[in-house]
Amino acid sequence: MTKPTPPIVSGALPVLGHAAEFQRNRPDLIRRGFVEHGGVFSLKLANQNVAVVIGPDHQKKFFMETDGRLSIQEPYTFLKAMFGEVLFLAPHDKYLQQRPLVQELFKREKMLHYVNVMQEVVQKWLDSLGDSGEIDITSEIGVLVQEVAGNCFLGPEVHQAIGREFWDLYADLGKALDPLLPPNLPLPKFYKRDKAKARMTEILRPIIAERRANPDKYNDFLQDIINKEGNDGQPVDEEMVRNLLLGLMFAGHETTAGQAAWTLIFLLKHPDYLQKVLAEIEEVAPAGVHIDPKRMVQLDHIAWAVHEIERLRPSADMLMRVVKEDIEFGDYLIPAGWLVQVAQEIGHKLPDQFAEPERFDPLRFSPDRAEDKQHRFNLFGFGGGTHKCTGMNFANNEMIIITALMLRQFELELVTQDTQILRGLGANKPTKTIVRYRRRELAPAEPELAAAAGD
């Protein structure tokens, strides 16, 4: 006997179905579906059927069937219009050719270099703040992570050469993110997207040409891509280099900025846990000490806070696939042609997986509790399976560095007490949040600790 399709959530309108509510308030719509029907239910987005699957076993199947009965490329045509056929936006055979290149760029020796660059960039920003004042932590961190991405991925010379104009153009790309509309409709936001991409191409073209002409002068992420050869033994073409850069730098700042800001905001809202973080910083990496990888991996309380923010405030609240062949989830059959999605904001807050799931409690990730280890797919803010974010460790390291350096040098006070989630069709982030800061009076580091920075 054929299984039924998933039951539909209440509130569908004629013709539009749930499309307007999906755009306006996805989390409440998904939460209502979960309350009404449990871990498998459906939405109607105009003429498109969407199945939503929630729960670790369903989430596992969603990720493990990607590139099998589920396709990752088709739901993200709006991203392909921005970045071309790169990584998961490419056909599967081309993706398999590209992925080792990107993985190589995040190997251990590269990550050691990035950690040093991160600290230089973050410290330069901290030095620019002066001794006291107020900042909007959301916008400041947004610019800071762009600086980190530019210096790490492009190198300081190229990052300086492209200037702020390049990063400002990303705003026009971000405004064109729309999973519901065909990406080539004659709309102003799509015209601006194409104009911004054309200008970014103009900025990068002479830089790439100069790098090709002088391959031995540079040793950075950009040069690694340019030097790489494809399966045919030929250099990677300019369009591929450019699209990889645009896509990786977009991912490198768009998703990290919000979570880095949320980490600081939540720590300031929870002074008891903040004291644990400050005590650990003082013990492991006090003022004046370079945070090398050996020290960074000892900053457990910050790392757990970063994971808790991934759980509570994921940058994306949904991931989608197209069903290529009929597939069963639980008691239901999802037909070919449907979309299927997982929902991080709901899947990360299941009470049978996380104790008091609405509560900020980073200690749930400590070894004696390890709630995230109950199931491999309990936490999926960075995706899962073959397409799990290659830059996950880069992003987590960056958030740890930003948090540790800022907290050990400044006393912070949260002025804005009612920060909300600013939702869009891109990455979620905090609304404007004012933080008051005062530079700490720091004793010089002990000589042996300062010397250890060069170990």
User: Does the structure show a pLDDT above 50 at 445?
Assistant: no
Q: What is the mean pLDDT of residues 89-97?
A: 75
Note the maximum CA span of the chain: 75
Separation of alpha carbons 121 and 129, rounded Å: 13
* CATH among 3.40.630.10, 3.60.15.10, 3.40.50.300, 1.10.630.10 for 54-452: 1.10.630.10
User: Does the structure show a pLDDT above 60 at 430?
Assistant: yes
Q: What is the mean pLDDT of residues 319-327?
A: 95
Q: What's the burial of 216, exposed, middle or buried (CB within 10 Å: 0-12/13-18/19+)?
A: exposed
Cβ partners under 8 Å of residue 435, min gap 6: 134, 135, 136, 137, 264, 268, 412, 413, 414, 415, 416
Q: Is the entire prediction scored with pTM above 0.85?
A: yes
Convert the pLDDT of each residue in 106-147 to its tens digit: 888 888 889 999 999 999 999 999 999 999 999 999 999 999
**What is the SS3 assignment for 129?**
coil
What confidence score (pLDDT) does residue 231 get? 66
What confidence score (pLDDT) does residue 230 get? 65
Q: Which two tokens stand for residue 404?
A: 């540790």
Cβ partners under 8 Å of residue 274, min gap 6: 267, 268, 407
Confidence grade of residue 171 (pLDDT, cut at 50, 70, 90): confident
Q: How many CA atoms lie within 13 A of 424 on its CB side?
A: 16
Convert the pLDDT of each residue in 277-317 to its tens digit: 999 999 999 998 999 989 999 999 999 999 999 999 999 88
Q: Which two tokens stand for residue 397?
A: 């390291």
What confidence score (pLDDT) does residue 432 get? 97
What confidence score (pLDDT) does residue 251 get? 77
Q: Which of 66-80, 194-208, 316-330, 405-419 has the lowest mean pLDDT?
A: 66-80
Confidence grade of residue 238 (pLDDT, cut at 50, 70, 90): confident
Confidence grade of residue 6 (pLDDT, cut at 50, 70, 90): very high
Q: How many CA atoms lie within 13 A of 88 on its CB side?
A: 25
Convert the pLDDT of each residue in 174-193 to its tens digit: 888 887 778 888 999 999 99
- Mean pLDDT (the chain, rounded): 89
What confidence score (pLDDT) does residue 390 get? 83
Q: What are the φ/ψ torsions at residue 45 (nearest 5 degrees)?
A: -110, 90
Q: Which of 143-147, 161-165, 227-231, 236-240 has the lowest mean pLDDT?
A: 227-231
User: Does the structure show a pLDDT above 90 at 425?
Assistant: no
Confidence grade of residue 450 (pLDDT, cut at 50, 70, 90): very low
Confidence grade of residue 442 (pLDDT, cut at 50, 70, 90): low
Separation of alpha carbons 94 and 231, rounded Å: 10
**CB-CB contact of 152 with 116 (8 Å):** no
- 267 vs 78 pLDDT, higher one: 267
User: Does the structure show a pLDDT above 80 at 366?
Assistant: yes
Count the Cβ atoms, other than its own, within 10 Å of residue 3: 13
User: Does the structure show a pLDDT above 60 at 454?
Assistant: no
DSSP class of 5:
P
Q: Which of 43-57, 303-317, 405-419, 424-438 has the lowest mean pLDDT?
A: 424-438
Convert the pLDDT of each residue in 395-413 to its tens digit: 999 999 999 999 999 999 9
